[in-house]
Structure 1
Amino acid sequence: MPHQPHYTSLATQVFSQYLDQAIDLETLILKLREIELQLLSDEEEDDDEVSTKQVWFRFFDGDAMQTTISDIENELSDSSHPSSKILLRGIAFGLANNELQVHFG
């Protein structure tokens, strides 16, 4: 599942806005879906087949998860749930250490 470094800065900006409470969860998901649509569009230009690939994120080195946009939406929708807090810490840690990766596959 190839790493998409040219989308990392955009994703970093979007996640930072969310952590800074400049955007809400709905806007975060919308912006992440826009990144995914752009990647799908780029791929379809190179290949005539319809893709079933999706964007997923690795927030820090050693992060074994392949966190999708749907995972983010589900986990962050209930701020009192422990997995929500864990995900937020992972995002913040990854951004602070410049380790966020965007993957598409």
Structure 2
Amino acid sequence: MTKQPQYTTIARDAFGKYIDDEIDLDQLLERLRYIEQQVISEDEDETEKTVWFRFFEGDPLHTTISEVGKDLSDPSHPNCALLQRGIALGLQAGELEVHYS
């Protein structure tokens, strides 16, 4: 169970509102954790799986919620700008995906 298309709309909305400054980082993380709670509750196997995001086609990273929080928490760090660009690119191209593995 890797790709979770049923949660793409929620993730797209949350990341879009964050990029548009309609919600702050804490609210974004809250919405992403909601997705994770829902996915975990559907998984009958008790494993070490986690929710991660692929922002655009060819994105080599498996960006977790913790990494989103860490990278976006310091606006002066280069990872913040890179992640914001990746999010914006994925939203614009409609390629954002939610995964669980």
TM (normalized to structure 1)?
A: 0.92
Shift of the alpha carbon at 1:56?
0.2
Q: Deviation of residue 52 (structure 1)? A: 1.8
1:41-92 alpha-carbon deviations (Å, 9 max, x no partner): 011xxx2x42321100000000000000000000000001111000000000
Higher radius of gyration, 1 or 2: 1
Identity %: 49
Residue equivalent to 1:72: 68
CA-atom RMSD in angstroms: 1.0
Contact kept, 8 Å, 1:58 with 1:100, in 2: the verdict is yes
Match of 2:20 in 1: 20
Aligned equivalent of 2:10: 10
Aligned residues: 101
Instruction: Write the distance in 1 (CA, Å) between the matches of 2:36 and 2:15.
Output: 15
Which runs of 4 or more aligned residues in structure 1 lie more than 4 Å from their structure 2 counterparts after TM superposition?
none
In the alignment, what sits opposite 1:83?
Answer: 79
Matching of residue 96 in structure 1 with residue 86 in structure 2: no
- TM-score where L is the length of structure 2: 0.96
- 1:51 and 1:14 map into 2 onto residues whose CA distance is 26
In structure 1, distance between residues paired with 2:69 and 2:2: 23
**Secondary structure at 1:52's aligned position in 2?**
coil
Aligned-pair CA distance for 1:2: 1.2
Gaps of at least 5 residues in structure 1 are: none
8 Å Cα contact 1:40/1:51 also seen in 2: no
Task: State the AA in 1 paired with 2:74.
Answer: D
Alignment match, 2:38: 38
SS of 1:99's equivalent in the other structure is coil
